Amino acid sequence: MKKIIYSSLLILFIWNGSKALAQSDMISYGLNKTLPQANNLNPAILPDYKFSFGLPGLSGFHINTAQNFTNLELLNTKDEDGSLNSNNILSAIKRNNRISSNNNINLFHLGIRGLTSYTAVSINTRTTARVSLPREFFQFAVLGNASDELKDGLLDLNRFSTKLMGYTEIGVSHGREILGGKMTAGIRIKYLIGHGYADIKNFDARLRTYGNKDFRGDSLAIDVNQFDIRTAGIAASVSDEDFESDDIRSSVLSNGGFGLDLGATYEFSRKIRFFASLNDLGFINWNSQYATKLAVPSFQYNFSGIDVVELINGEDISVINDFDSVINDLEIAETTDESFATSLTARIYAGASYQLSRRQTASAILYSELYRGTLIPAFTGMYNFQAGTFFNFAFSATLMNGRVNNFGTGVTLNLVPFQIVLATNDLLSIVNPMQGRAVDFRFGINHTFGNVNKGKTRAKKNSKNTIDTIDLGID
């Protein structure tokens, strides 16, 4: 039983630790010509800098969290009596309420650009989290167990799920122009080091409430079918009763995997360009020494109510003892020393851009990710203004999580040899936190040198176009 408690607390700890982080990184895609880390989104993107690198603590981080069902303003609404307006809250709750988190810390980046190619090495530590909460969770919390508004008094909780994972990726990418420069193709190969994993799968539970007039018996009846809890890496080692501090290092370094990113761009005409990338195809194999699976069997529990005053005074704690007895009597099947593999959450970017002028571009980008068989999409319209490698500005409007007013903005400012990056995919949550549903912020400082386009321009101006007169753009 201690394992379940530890695992549950760990899931909450990991989630709260990454909670200030999860939507797609659209704005970085818009800054792709001057932001070296944009190559992580599409290995076919060839930044304009001849040489760039970033160091730990400087090259930046991306903090991102998002949910699709409420905001602070809604939680502060009052009814005519001055009480919390629960009807407004429930009307905003969806059938599936999702909270997602993506956190990325760039530990190292090195990029080298030629006239027709780009090669990069990067190290990133990433944390991802996905939680799905059924509407019934909120109905029970707001309406209580004696409301006629609860359909048949039966709450179906089987859409609840959670998945949390932390890992470091070491990637090498190469992109190159082909078809005479009309197309670029790129690939990134990544070695993955898994740090921690926690997952609740196959959760199937129902809660019978007093709200159903046809129900005669106890106030609450809980019916839970068998479900699994899986932990690995740090998550499993910490939940082990024989845990020692040295186990953390061993559990982190013993989990390996591989990932793959693919990308391409195509210049349809002088003004129109198409692009697409498929990211995070891969897996992590969790070492058997630090992997645990708990199979919690089916159980039922009937709760007939308590006298709160007596409970506070310690006069009647039988209900606590009864529930504790039910849990302790469960024959939980624990499986250890069996390795297992988990896949990454694959992401897809696809879109097109139109060259409005020499320095201005408009783009449309479609993003989607697949989570537990559900495709979660987002669509972004982007405006970009670029003044060489010195200054790049992007502004976006994204339809995601049921919202059409999800605005983002970002800039890169090159103060040779330093480049400052500031960006957010959800500007509203910064300027008006009461209406925001996400927290998203990117900051970093890169070291950048040279502009490959200067060499290209000088080469085009030279009519002879010989090997002696073409400037290759290398100082």
> Domain ranges in the chain?
2-297+332-461
Determine how many CB atoms are found less than 10 A away from the CB of residue 417: 12
What does the pLDDT look like over 315-353, one tens digit per residue?
Answer: 555 555 566 666 767 777 777 778 889 989 888 999 999
pTM of the model: 0.78
The CA–CA distances, whole Å, from 243 to 8, 177, 247, 250, 253 equal: 17, 52, 7, 12, 16
Which pLDDT tens digit goes with each residue over 141-174? Answer: 777 666 666 666 777 888 788 888 999 999 999 9
* Residue 454 identity: K
Structure-token pair, residue 289: 């020494």
Cβ atoms of residues 52 and 447 within 8 Å: yes
d(CA 281, CA 261): 7
Omega before 417 within 30 of 0, i.e. cis: yes
Q: How confident is the model at residue 356 (pLDDT cuts 50, 70, 90)?
A: very high
Amino acid at 61: F
The answer to whether 451 and 52 are in contact (CB under 8 A) is no
Highest mean pLDDT out of 176-190, 207-221, 287-301, 405-419: 176-190
CA 186 vs. chain centroid, Å, equals 23
Residue of 382, 402, 401, 400 lying closest to 392 (CA atoms): 382
Say how far apart CA 22 and CA 155 lie, in whole Å.
29
Report d(CA 355, CA 375) in Å as an integer: 31
Give the SS3 label for residue 239.
helix
Q: Which of 6-20, 239-253, 362-376, 454-468 has the lowest mean pLDDT?
A: 6-20
3-state secondary structure of 213: coil
CA distance linking residue 202 with residue 225, whole number of Å: 9
- Rounded CA-CA distance 157/164 in Å is 20
Choose between 301 and 106: higher pLDDT. 106
Question: How does pLDDT run across 79-134, given as a tens digit for each residue?
Answer: 666 666 677 777 778 777 888 888 899 999 999 998 899 999 999 999 988 888 88
Q: Are 230 and 296 in contact (CB under 8 A)?
A: no
